[in-house]
Amino acid sequence: MVKPPDFIAAMTGSLDEQAARHMVTRTPQTEALGFQFVSISEARGAIRVPWRADLVGDPETGVIASGVVTTLLDHVCGLAIRAAAAVPQGTLDLRIDYMRPARPQADLVADGHCYKLTRTIAFVRALAHDGDPDDPVATAQAAFALIGGGA
Amino acid sequence: MSADATPAERLAAFLARTPYIAFLGMRAELAGDEMTAILPFSPHLIGNTMLPALHGGVLGAFMEMTALAQLAVITGGPRPAKTIDVTIDYLRPGRAMDTYARAEIKKAGRRISSVHVEAWQEARAKPVAAIRGHFQTPTEG
């Protein structure tokens, strides 16, 4: 069983794997979508969403809805910021480009990288793929406001 | 969906054929050709239990689905449009309450349409989020 991370500890310092796993799998929306923790490393994070029939956008193609990709990319950006030892307050803007449809019934994996932190803002890039990160389904660029003026 | 379907029939067909719309619990109402999308609050939409607040991705997805629904109402093809890109602006926290959205089709092109959407909760003049997006018109057949 996953122990909930101590909130104060989660608000400061770097993110351990248990807190990252909790962040990915234990919010109501990510739990409803079935998000799975993949990994964290310095300023980077990865999340998987397994294919499910009720998450499909167009039943004729069986491809996961772009709205699921939006939430996946938003969440992996937040994870990357926590992996950079900052705490996101909220998304300011999120731009998503959909390169191609995912393969029917394919799981999706998103990788996020927080490549710049200022005292108040985090800048993040992310992509979602269905097996090959060099052939992404979607890419994202986001800016987040930070809590507490940065680390 | 036949070309002579009414806007209400086109909207109902779009909402009914999309499993993810049911996952969100999204509805929509038409007044003439003006559509209001409704996202009734549900606990599974929460992204931050501390505030609590709706997941930012949910707000973005809801507005994108609103754009696709509005395009279905106007163009009425058998297949939904495909999203090319969206830019989401987050203006205020999405609180644990019902959310509404309206889409404005800035340009309905033969191949590509440009759509703006705003979402609000308590007051339309205080939007919680907005998107601008481009959508590809599906090819027939």
Q: Is B82 on the interface with A (CB under 8 A)?
A: yes
Asked whether residue A120 is domain-assigned, the answer is: yes
B contact test, residue of A23, A98, A108, A141 with most B CBs within 10 A: A98
Whether residue A36 is contained in a domain is answered as yes
Q: How confident is the model at residue B33 (pLDDT cuts 50, 70, 90)?
A: confident
Q: How many domains does chain B have?
A: 1
Would residue B103 count as lying in a domain?
A: yes
Nearest CA among A100, A90, A99 for reference residue A142: A90
Cβ contact B70:B35 at 8 Å: yes
Domain hosting B52: range is 7-136
Q: Which helix (H) or strand (E) holds A36?
A: strand A36-41
Q: Residue B100 falls within a domain, yes or no?
A: yes
* Tokens 């003006």 found at: B34
**Could you tell me if residue B104 is inside a domain?**
yes
- Does a structural domain hold residue B37? yes
Q: Percentage of residues in chain B with pLDDT exceeding 70? A: 95
Q: How far is CA A90 from CA A75, A80, A94, A143, B54, in A?
A: 11, 13, 11, 9, 11
Q: Indicate the pTM of the whole model.
A: 0.92
Terminal CA-to-CA distance of chain B, rounded, Å? 12
Residue B32's CATH number: 3.10.129.10
Interface of A with B in 36-55 (CB under 8 A): 53-55
Residue B141 resides in a domain: no
User: Does the complex come out with an ipTM higher than 0.90?
Assistant: yes
Please report, in tens digits, the pLDDT of each residue of chain A (151 residues total).
344 444 434 444 568 899 999 999 999 999 999 999 999 999 999 999 999 999 999 899 999 999 999 999 999 999 999 999 999 999 999 999 999 989 999 999 999 999 999 999 999 999 999 999 999 999 999 999 998 754 4
Q: Tokens representing B135?
A: 């959508």
**Average pLDDT of span B104-128:** 96
For residue B42, being part of any structural domain is answered with yes
Domain assignment of residue B86, yes or no: yes
Q: What's at A73, amino acid-wise?
A: L
The answer to whether the beta carbons of residues A66 and A57 sit under 8 Å apart is: yes
Q: Which CATH number covers residue A11?
A: 3.10.129.10
What is the number of structural domains in chain A?
1
- CB contact under 8 Å between A72 and B57, yes or no, is yes
**Four-residue CA torsion sign, A124, A44, A64, B137:** positive
Instruction: Give per-residue pLDDT as tens, A34-68.
Output: 999 999 999 999 999 999 999 999 899 999 999 99
End-to-end CA, chain A: 30
Domain containing residue A65:
7-149
Q: Which of A149, A97, A4, A88 is nearest to B56 (CA)?
A: A88
Q: Does A75 touch chain B (CB under 8 A)?
A: yes
Among A48-62, A107-121, B65-79, B115-129, the range scoring the smallest mean pLDDT is B65-79
